[in-house]
Amino acid sequence: MAWKRSDETPGYNPSEPAPAPRPTPAPSFSSTTTSSEPPRRTSGDRATIGPSIFIKGDLTGDEDLVIEGRVEGKVDLKQNNVTVGPDGKVKADVFGRVVTIEGEVDGNVFAQEQAVLRKSGAIRGNITAPRVVLEDGSRFKGTIDMEPKERHGGGFQSSGANRPSSAGSSTSTDAGKTSESPAGVNRPAQAG
């Protein structure tokens, strides 16, 4: 399993019978996942992909997501916030409400509200967002597509409904492949 819902019990084992249905879309896992460390739990309704996790495939869901590991494919959480942590390495298009990049992204970033590239972050790709924040020292190569002010409020077409209540939120993967990656190998590479 790539990561756990933040409201799951500490001893949750994916091999055990599935928990009772939830009011919001249940997580869907189409592949097996191995990890050398348990998925991290964070406060609030936020899932974390730990530094030892490598996911190849598409990620969708309804809760905020922090990526500390590696993802290849597509990250599609248009109604939620996505953060690529300092050790995160994403080779994918990233869709989110507020997308914050502290690690490395090789792909396009689409943010409904705001895209933030932190000092430690690097993006090789295009950013589409009504508001873009680039911290000095960050590395960026690509195009920033900024909506005119009068058109703010929807930088791209949203496929989801209104943001669900936090109590029933969930995050899921639709991963094609997953594999284990040793912790500590996902350091951001120096962008050219």
Partner 1 sequence: MSWLSSLRGTGSRKEPAAKGSGSQTQTAEDAPEIHRSLALPAVFAALSRGQRLNVLDLGAALGSNVERLSEYGCRLDIEDLYASKSAAAEGGSLGPEFFAEFLAPAEGRQFDLVLAWDLFNYLDRKELASLGSRLRQFCRPGALIFALVSYHKTIPAQPIRFRFVDQDQDQLIYERRTTVERPGPRFAPAEFNELLRGFRVDRSFLLRHGIQEYLFMREGS
* Positions in the binding site for partner 1 (CB under 8 A): 131-136, 138-149, 151, 192
Beta carbon of residue 131, minimum distance to partner 1 (angstroms, whole number) = 6
Which is closer to partner 1, CB of 151 or CB of 187?
A: 151
Beta carbon of residue 99, minimum distance to partner 1 (angstroms, whole number) = 15
Distance CA 1, CA 18 (A): 13
Beta carbon of residue 140, minimum distance to partner 1 (angstroms, whole number) = 4
Distance CA 60, CA 53 (A): 16
Which is closer to partner 1, CB of 16 or CB of 136?
A: 136
Beta carbon of residue 75, minimum distance to partner 1 (angstroms, whole number) = 22
Which is closer to partner 1, CB of 40 or CB of 139?
A: 139
User: C-alpha distances in angstroms, 88 versus 8, 20, 38, 49, 148?
Assistant: 23, 32, 16, 9, 31
Distance CA 37, CA 186 (A): 15
Beta carbon of residue 6, minimum distance to partner 1 (angstroms, whole number) = 31
User: C-alpha distances in angstroms, 117 versus 18, 109, 132?
Assistant: 38, 10, 8
Distance CA 27, CA 39 (A): 15
Reference 122, options 74, 90, 75; nearest CA is: 90
Which is closer to partner 1, CB of 147 or CB of 174?
A: 147
Which is closer to partner 1, CB of 148 or CB of 184?
A: 148
